[in-house]
Amino acid sequence: MKKVEITAKGTNYAATNIGLLNELSQHVFTLAPGIDIPGRVFIGNDLGNTGSEVSFVTTPAGLGGDFLHTHKTNEEVYIVLSGNGQFQVDGEFFDISEGSVVRVSQNGKRAYKNTGNTDLVMICIQTKADSLKDLGITDGVILEEPVKW
């Protein structure tokens, strides 16, 4: 089983490496005792995240869609890195493929499955619903000090 490697850490940052995306299936997430999900890795704890959770997931061809789920407080954004699939939210179905980005509110009943012939690889980012104050660059502050490489 692969493990997340912490590659750098300081007061205001942390960096990890999950390995190659084509080796993602070697990670195993334990949902509950006796319920292991291969191909999924969460990195929020390793990064010390305080406002989001980030996970990578790979779903082999023909698999997925085993259960619907919602969240108590978090919305999710799924970013498809490769493969093809189908998403279901509140009984509505739509296709996803490389480049697709899907946001689902915490109350959305969701599931996805791989409908292609190769692995479906996605990043999933969870954040507390209605917590974002500023979108895009409006939260950023450009500093006067020069960048030193």
Q: What's the one-letter identity of residue 131? A: S
28 C-beta neighbours (distance < 10 Å), count: 13
Model pTM?
0.90
Torsion of CA 108, 113, 114, 115, to 10 degrees: -100
Give mean pLDDT, residues 10-15: 96
Nearest residue to 77 (alpha-carbon basis) of 36, 129, 113: 129
- How many domains, in total, are found in the chain? 1
CATH number, domain containing residue 25 = 2.60.120.10
Is residue 147 included in any domain, yes or no?
no
Is residue 102 included in any domain, yes or no?
yes
Is residue 90 included in any domain, yes or no?
yes
pLDDT in the model for residue 31? 83
Is residue 145 included in any domain, yes or no?
no
Give mean pLDDT, residues 120-142: 87
Residues 43, 26: contact at Cβ < 8 Å? no
Is residue 110 included in any domain, yes or no?
yes
pLDDT in the model for residue 37? 86
pLDDT in the model for residue 52? 94
Is residue 146 included in any domain, yes or no?
no
Instruction: Determine the structural domain holding residue 43 and report its residue range.
Output: 5-139
Nearest residue to 37 (alpha-carbon basis) of 63, 18, 19, 62: 63
> For 76-115, what is each residue's pLDDT tens digit?
999 999 999 999 999 999 999 999 999 999 999 999 999 9
